[in-house]
Structure 1
Amino acid sequence: MENFTLTNLFTIKGISAASGLLFSQNVLFIISDSSSFLYQYDIEKNLLLKFPLVKEPAENIPKQDKLDLESIIQHGNQIIILGSGSTKNRTTMFTLDLSTDALQTQDLNPLYQKLKNVSELNDDQFNIEGAIYANETMILFQRGNSAESQNGIFIVPNNQKNNIRFIPITLPTLDGIETTFTDAILVNDKIYFLACAENTASTYEDGEILGSILGVMHAPTFEIIDIKLLSEHQKFEGITLYKNTEEEIEFLLCEDNDTELSESIIYNLNLKKN
C-alpha cells in the first residue's frame, strides 16, 4: 500500500455530520450522526433523496437527543443501520428492505449490555463506530476514545448462545494520542479500517482532531498488516468500497468536520495494488 491518492470527489448539499457510507446499486447511501434520515444520493444525476427512519424525522438534532447513527452495512437486499450505544437513546437498529422499502426497528440495548459485560467496558466507555457482517457473524468496532477505554472488536454470532468475544486492539498514535476506530469494511480477506486521533477523554464531547489513518487487517486473525496516514487534521468517519480492479482499489470516504454546515464532502481514496 505504498501508493495512494486522496482527492475531494464532490460535495453534497443538504447533509451535515456524515458518519457512514454505503455504495450499492449505483447509489450512495449516507447516514448522519445528527439526523434521523437515511440519505440516498444518485451520483450521476446529482440527486439527493431522504428516507425517514422515524415518525418525526429531523436534522441537526441536539447532541443529547440524537440517535448517533454511526454504522451502515448491507446484508443481501437489506440495509442495516446501528446506533453507537454511547448513551441510552443511541441503541436503535434500523433495517430497510430495498425491494419493498419496509422498515423495521430493534432496540439493541440488551445486546449492548451483553457486549459491555463481555468486554468489561462501562456505559461511559462503550461506543460502536463500525460494523461488518460476514459468515453469519456481526463484527462490531469499539472506539476507545474515552478515559481508560479500549479499542477493540466484538465478534457476535447470529446464534448468540455461542460465545460473544471481545478482542482488544492497540492502534497507532498521532501526537501521542492513540487513534480510535471510526469505521471499517471487509474486502475479500482484508479489513480496511479508519481511525482518528482526537484529544478528548469522552465518547460524548468532541476534541481537537489530530488526524486520521487507514489501516489494513488480515480478516481471519485481525492482525494489522499496514497503516497509512491520510490526514493530520481531518476526521474521516465513513468508508465504502467504490471500485475494485486488479490494479487498484477505490473507496469513498466521508468526513466529520465538526461544523454546522449543511454539506458533506465525499473523498475518493485510490490505492494501487502493485
Structure 2
Amino acid sequence: MNKDLSAIRQIRLGDELRAWRLENNKTLADMTAGLKGWSAGRLSRIERALQPISATDLATLLDHSGVTGQEREDLESLLGASPPKQWWRDLDFANSITAAFSEYLALEADAAQMLNYFPSAFPGLVQTEGYAKEMIAAGLSAPNEEQIETATEVRMLRQRRLTEDPTLALEAYFGEVALMVAGDHKVLADQIRHTIKVAQYPNVTIRMIPLSAGRQGILTSGLVLMRFPDDPEDGFVFIEAVGGMLPRRTGRDVRRAERAFSRLHRCALSPEDTITALERKLEELT
C-alpha cells in the first residue's frame, strides 16, 4: 500500500475525524480545549483537508479525545509520512488558486484514472493553449487578461499527467456541439489536430457523443470521475457548476457517476469513428 499521504487520503482523514466528532457530540472547541498548540480553527482546516497533520499530532489529538481501538486504527491507517503533491505551490501566482481548485489539482495529481465528460467543449487535459484561452475568457466570471493567462498556464501544466510517469489513464468524452462552437476557426482547427494527436497516446481514449444520440447522450453538466492507486474500488466525483467543479465524495455519488459514464459509453462513437469525425471537420475548416 502507498505510504504517502495522498490528497484522497488527506480528504478522507478529515472527513472521518469530523464524522467521529459529530457522532460523539463534540464541537471543534470541545476537541481542542486544553490541547497545547491546537485551536478550533486548526482542527477545522484539517477536517476540510486544507491543512496536513503529522502522525505525532494525530496521535496527540486522538489521545486527548479518547479515540481507541478499531476507530483509532482506521484513522491512523489513512495517515502517511509525506504531504500530498502540490506542484502549483512554487508558481508565482500560487496564491491566486482557490482552496477548492487546489483540492481538485491535488486529487488530479494523485489519480491513476480519470473519466471526463464535457457537453460543449474539449476536455481541459486535451486543450491547446489557444483553445483554453477562448474557453476561460468565455467564463461567467469575466476574467481579466492576467487571470486568463494564469488559468491557461495551470491548464497546460496539468497536461503533464498524460505524458510523465506515472501517466494518468484518461477516458474523455465530449459532445459534438464542441465542433460547432468556436470564436476562431484556426483555433478550432488547431484544437482538432491536437485532439487527434493526443488520442494516439496509449493511456488516452477520446470519444465523441454525436447529436444523433439524442437525450440519452446528454448530461446536464460536465462530469469527472477520478480513481486512485491506493483505493481502486472507490473514487471521487466532481460535477461542473457555475464557478467551478463541485466535489461529491460519497460512494452513492461514485456509483451514479459510473452509471452516467456507462450510458455515455453506449452513446459515444468509437475512438476510431471519433477520429474520422474530427478529420472530416478539419477538412471543412481548412
**Pairwise same-fold verdict (TM > 0.5):** no
TM-score, normalised to structure 2's length?
A: 0.28
Higher helix share: 2
TM-score, normalised to structure 1's length?
A: 0.29
* Larger gyration radius, structure 1 or structure 2: 2
Higher strand share: 1
